[in-house]
Structure 1
């Protein structure tokens, strides 16, 4: 006798555990719906023989004997016993799905903080579904008197949020361990004059100051909620390098400082973080009122406030940026803060741009960046007022 010939079946299963769970729950729901129909049919069977079902159809014979009623009742009981058996199996199946859910990592939401300079508020959006931002709340002086006054730049390290207050020369500090319920924990003012932008490297916080000698303050944030002023460097020390500094960005040992009034970005070597060295400037022919800066890989993006564009530079050699593109004169209006949503294996990286004049945030798909950024949408109309700074929490991969 020959052996059976079994074909080689090697299907590729591409369904993830996260995708499997809703499929299993849907199958349970559909089976429960089917059982509900069966139970309803059995109930109508009893109503029919008892003459209480309004069908308009007469019984034949017109009179049902007691024995016949018992027979129908027995039939219903047998069917319901089978339904009960199936319900028990569905309960086991549901418990197994619950166990499967328990093996998944906890869901971590991602939040975008947006400062509103013109109404002294910071808005919080849930961007866990990046293309569908959901407003969670706004907080400001009504919640924390004296904390916000012309909020501009934002920065986050760990569970601490810094908010630059342009109008009262302070930086407000918030604990955002519970990001939808921030707690005001402090305020600093030393060395600040119209603070407007931040950059963080290690335990050093740099703060751009637009007013009073146009400088950058340096704070030690080893204790994030208790920053210590270290020093300040200004345009007096580095003539031609600092004039109304606004945005800051860091890659390695290089600090970039945008200068809104000089239409340049200055480059500083911060190998010694508290003793920066001016290296060069760039952008004279490309920039007009540069504000926000953001870096992804070897690409530096600069918000061009006056021209309502984003200028893009290749910084493979950090001290020798090369302009590669600009984009979007139609949808931007006074761009300020920039932030990039961290990429993951499924979601393409997204660039968020605070649109100050329109009080919105623009979203771009930059999967092929710096080539061919694709505008996705804007949001914040009716919620934002002078959208300025952007920061994402948590700051690492989610």
Structure 2
């Protein structure tokens, strides 16, 4: 069994390399633990349940330039045509599109504006009674809109009277669970909550309240409109290819564009998050490799400096296992100090990220996991050079003594 004290004294005689290595280990531990947590957080964000059958839904824009048609009537004709397709489950005009990064939001309150009361930021969609089925969301309480509750008008003074909201929004406004049938206010407009959807995400997944959403039965047709179509499984691509021709056949004086699947819109919205995640993975890989190479190089350097010392010990009867053990313990001592400093630095870095970027607190498990990974990696990196040192021939090492 080797003593720690002689190894420590040997390190003190060549402390520059050891200090540089433990600093490198500390930096690697601090950065990798935080980066791994951010990656896991982004993976959970990207894979979260949105409440929609994303691969069965697509949207497209319609820009009408013809002046010889009533747009409200034309929209009804278009919706009827789309719903009649055998591959289509349902279709509707929607004022906003979920997961797209663009839409409308306002404060929904328990008291009409300008009175002060509990108020919650909420995204809202103007849509008709086909909205629930078109988006494929799950209505868990109450009922859908009836046809006579859908307000189709160009008169901005007219207001709808009912709404369907997400479960999260209802829980926030009515924490006691008695929200169904209650009245909430969209500005000054009172809306009775007639239905509750289990989960439906707003256009902004990165919003502070991404799953606060309200459907409002109000159609105010304009020259630029957005349609949402939900198809049967595996039929979306076929319908997307034909929808432009079908719409133009229904009425030709318009432009159909921006035909995109809901999953494609989501991918565009979260593209920056995916890029950041890939960059962090590359950063972690580079840091771990550089640290491993640093340990490997330092061990080789120590071996070249101590060739005669190792040969002398081998000539005096030291076993190969003792030589290997010596370098493993030496590396473990350097790594241990580096890991202690790295864990402290990881906590401090996590606090800074939490303060400036609204990232959740770094769990201790990520620090512990990173420390274990770095320690095992350091032992593996030093084992090869240590084994090489153990194989040094005593006669060669002591030839000039």
The reply to whether TM is greater than 0.5 is: no
Greater share of residues in strand: 1
Q: Which has the higher contact order (CA 8 A, sep 6+)?
A: 2
Shorter-chain TM-score range: under 0.3
TM-score, normalised via structure 1 length: 0.22
TM-score, normalisation: structure 2: 0.22
